[in-house]
Homo-oligomer: A and B are copies of this chain.
Amino acid sequence: MSLVDAAFINLERRETPMHVAGLMIYELPPDAAPDFIKNLVRRFRSPVKLGAPWNQVLAKAPLSRLAPAMTAVSQIDFDYHVRHSALPAPGGERELGELISNLHGVWLDRSRPLWTCHIVEGLEHGRFAIYLKIHHALADGVRCMRFVEACHAMTPDQAIRAPWDGTPTTKRKPCAPADPAMTPRLGLGDVAAAVRHTATSMRWSRDHDPELIRPFSAPRSKLNGYVTNARRVATQQLEIDRLKRIAKHAGVSSNDVYLSVIGAALRAHLSAQDGLPDRSLIAAVPFSLRQLGDDANGNQVAFSWATLATDIDEPAVRLNRVHASTFAAKRHIEAMPAPLRPLLTAALAAPATLAGAAGLTQWLPPPMNLVVSNVPGPASTLYLGGARLEALYPVSIPMQGQVLNITGVSYGRHLNVGFTGSRDALPHLQRLALLSRTALDELERAYEN
């Protein structure tokens, strides 16, 4: 297990379970038999030869508290891992939101493989949902997308396949780590060196590049409260075409547009609660270190820092500020020696996470205000046993000290955005989700004129 993977095990607390999930909404096939869901559950529960990470259990060893390791098991209790649930009537967004929020607050049993899959019937308009939860130590967002893609068909094919069922990509050899320097075995000393290197290069780059955002330069805000056990989850869909069109007009990336939209929504939401800081909110923006075809489990993610320009009212000006910061971050990363890039996560995220775990978040300046993530998902429509995958939302982790995580996953024509918050800190999360649509409209109008 890499140092980053292990950190997700070691830093897990009652208040901050370290799992991520995919919430998938399906349309029942037009000709679905009455026992379609029952069959799906039966199929998902039928014993198959599991590969990693689905068969991985935390090893019990004298030092496993310090250096957790995984070991494979040959059999698992499918009745436990695959749950069959139902929504109370009318099975709308509200009922689904409540169930998912509650499920997401429950951590994974450490005596078993660290995942569960919940098949939820009773959604209105002849739909059902699957909530697939996996420990972050086992897979990052990009890896999770591979599992989603592997178990779906591109056609309304009738065969049902579980995400853990003979996933071909788990057998393919990871092709990226041809350069062994890319997946170094890291010790704490390496991380310390990386922290020093990152700090030095940050300082250096900042002097040469005033747009570069440094960690721990974020203002205090409502987003940096104490995370408790319970979750609140909200969702929103943004049309990718619209994001792209704006990006093209403005000469920026689609991700800049997404960050700018999130910034505008947060600005409006916090203003309404008299909680908008004078200085702009700062987001940590994960980026994947995986090269094409790298299907290793675990985490291959690093972080960059971006402004959300929440101090700026003008949509177009805000977008330009966001772009300037992400562009500076890109330059900074590219200037780093490639083998050091994987250390960025440890170097940048570790102080934040350690501070959170040690309960120091109220004493330290926030390393960032929140994490805003964007994971490329399936481009075309997918089917599971003939059921069309209507939407696919990520549900992620509010780390201690950052009460909100916003993650987007592209699927077909939409960027599906999941807002995962600590329940008490952000009572009106659905409003924030709605505001992100309004923000997209506004930004679009700014470029139409």
Contacts and interface: CB of A to CB of B under 8 A. Distances in A.
Contact of A14 (B38, B79, B98, B110): B110
Given A110-B14, A111-B424, A112-B230, A84 B77 contact: no
A84 B95 contact: yes
Contact of A86 (B14, B87, B109): B87
A229 interface: yes
A138 to B, nearest CB: 17
Interface in A93-136: 95, 98-99, 102, 105-107, 109-112, 121-122
A110 B38 CA distance: 36
Contacts of A85: 85-86, 88, 99
Contact of A98 (B84, B112, B122): B84
A80 interface: yes
B88 A37 contact: yes
B88 A424 contact: no
A99 B209 CA distance: 56
**Copy count, this protein chain:** 2
A333 to B, nearest CB: 38
A386 to B, nearest CB: 20
Given A88-B84, A121-B88, A77 B423 contact: yes
Contacts of A105: 109
A423 B107 CA distance: 16
A228 B58 CA distance: 13
Contacts of A95: 84
Q: Which of A89, A95, A105, A122 has the most CB of B within 10 A?
A: A89
Nearest to A122: B86
Nearest to A85: B88
Contacts of A80: 230, 423
B111 A83 contact: no
B228 A111 contact: yes
Contact of A83 (B98, B107, B110, B423): B98
A401 to B, nearest CB: 15
A229 B84 contact: no
The 6 A-B residue pairs with the shortest CB-CB distance in the complex, in nearest-first order = A109-B229, A111-B228, A86-B86, A86-B88, A106-B106, A84-B88
29 contacts: A14-B107, A14-B110, A37-B88, A77-B423, A77-B424, A80-B230, A80-B423, A83-B98, A84-B88, A84-B98, A85-B88, A86-B86, A86-B87, A86-B88, A86-B89, A86-B122, A88-B121, A88-B122, A89-B121, A105-B109, A106-B106, A109-B229, A109-B230, A110-B229, A111-B228, A111-B229, A111-B230, A111-B424, A112-B230
Interface of A: 14-15, 37-38, 77, 79-80, 83-89, 95, 98-99, 102, 105-107, 109-112, 121-122, 228-230, 423-424
